[in-house]
Structure 1
Amino acid sequence: MKILVVSATEKEILPIKKHFRTKNTEVCVMKYSVIKSLSVDFLITGIGGVLTTYALTRTLSEMKYDWVINAGIAGSFNNDLEIGETVWVRNDQLADVGIEDKDKFYTMFEKGFGDQDEFPFKNGMLENTNTLNLNLKEASAITVNRTHGNKTSINLFRDKFKADIETMEGAAFFYVCLQEGVKFMQIRSISNYVKERDEANWNITLAIKNLNTKLLEIIDVISK
């Protein structure tokens, strides 16, 4: 069993990297790194969809994995999700790839640029059909190039996509894994609610702690 853990930043998965201590040399190529540790490799892609797409595609072209796991923190539109709670992402969307027209926003599919049901998309979404009994809430996600901190844009994207969470890499991760035909999952821990930016109300430390606890549990489940 060979597992690849993917994260935008080292900070988000540092606890589990320390758990899998290794003497292997870290290899850095084009601002991403793969750290080999037993049957678990760690890929730090950098923040955002572009960096994630390149790093993950290159890694999967060079190595084969039984499972690929995207782990990180996220902002939540859904107040029923608690700060620090970890969720399993069922579907993701490229939310801000489209056309702005006055006070409205249209996705590329809504404007006829591409077929919303052409693989790997289904109704404009990227879906994960891999199933495991993880005892985690399912969540829908959107992926953005800039996180929201303005009431107008928050309301626009919340009402339009009705997603539970937002990240900056998830849809890129889904897209690559679906195209490459690998088993994958995305888990995210809630660090903050998507509101006008006030980091005093965030809890990144708790989110990272819970994320890594769940990540260890998942690796234990799928490696048996």
Structure 2
Amino acid sequence: MTLLIVAATKDEILPCIPLLENRNIPYLITGVGMVATAYHLGQELIKNKYDLILNVGIAGAFGNSKNIGDVVYIGKDSIAELGAEDDQQFLSLEELGFGISSWTGVIPSNIILDIPQVEAISVNTAHGNEKSILKIRSRLPQIEIESMEGAAVYYVASQENIAAIQVRAISNYVEKRNKETWDIPLALKNLNLWLQKFIENQYTTIY
């Protein structure tokens, strides 16, 4: 099984890069956001074929159902802003009849993920305003996680019929922006510990 690791920034997988290079497992740094992610992942898939895409990174959590530093699997991800406004009502792409804006992960049968599964949204603007947070949580009460790339990875993978997994570590809560409450180092540490374990214990590849 050929694997591609995808991350928005190099810092998110930096501790694991020596392991990936030693195992000849390719990784792709796309840059932040869905546009950059879709473009660079698409270009990579033109050149090389993979059986599994693993998107990893940090993310924000809505509410306190998860702790800072927790590592979670994103079972479903949506582009939250893809749609139209009808005065005070938001109309999704599905409601408009223009397609879909949500995609799910696909876990190969030989892989076991021993981490909680959550539902996420991908956004162009990370929420940091109390009114906008209340609005999105009212519209999508089931969501627990927010990132800026995940749905794009799932979209590209679905179009190319490639299995895809998205794993995130919680670096902050989605609230009025206050960097003093963030713990990015803990999130990165736990994310890379999980990725190292995944590579060493659950993934084997033949090149």
Whichever residue aligns with residue 106 of structure 2, its letter is T
Distance 1:105 1:199 in 2: 30
| Within-5 A mapping of 1:192-207 | 192-207=172-187
Q: For structure 1, which segment, 96-105 or 60-69, has the greater mean C-alpha deviation from structure 2 after superposition?
A: 96-105
| 1:146 aligned residue | 125
Check whether the contact 1:2–1:39 (CA below 8 A) recurs between aligned residues.
no
| 1:158 aligned residue | 137
Distance 1:140 1:111 in 2: 22
Distance 2:107 2:139 in 1: 26
SS of alignment partner, residue 158 of structure 1: helix
| 2:23 aligned residue | 38
Check whether the contact 2:126–2:147 (CA below 8 A) recurs between aligned residues.
yes
| 2:161 aligned residue | 181
Bigger proportion of residues as helix = 2
Mark the runs of 5 or more structure 1 residues left unpaired by the alignment.
23-36, 117-123
SS of alignment partner, residue 191 of structure 1: strand
| 2:17 aligned residue | 17
Q: Which has the higher contact order (CA 8 A, sep 6+)?
A: 2
Percent of aligned pairs sharing the same letter: 41
Q: Deviations over 1:168-212 (max 9, x none)?
A: 000000000111111221000000000000000000000001001
2:152 corresponds, among 172, 179, 201, to 172
The answer to whether the aligner puts 1:70 opposite 2:18 as a matched pair is no
Q: Deviations over 1:151-177 (max 9, x none)?
A: 111111112122110110000000001
CA RMSD of aligned residues (A): 1.6
| 2:106 aligned residue | 129
Tell me how far 1:103 sits from its aligned partner.
3.4
TM (normalized to structure 2)?
0.91
Whichever residue aligns with residue 55 of structure 1, its letter is H
Distance 2:19 2:186 in 1: 18
Check whether the contact 2:106–2:165 (CA below 8 A) recurs between aligned residues.
no
TM (normalized to structure 1)?
0.84
Whichever residue aligns with residue 37 of structure 2, its letter is T
| 1:223 aligned residue | 204
Distance 1:105 1:200 in 2: 33
Distance 1:106 1:178 in 2: 23
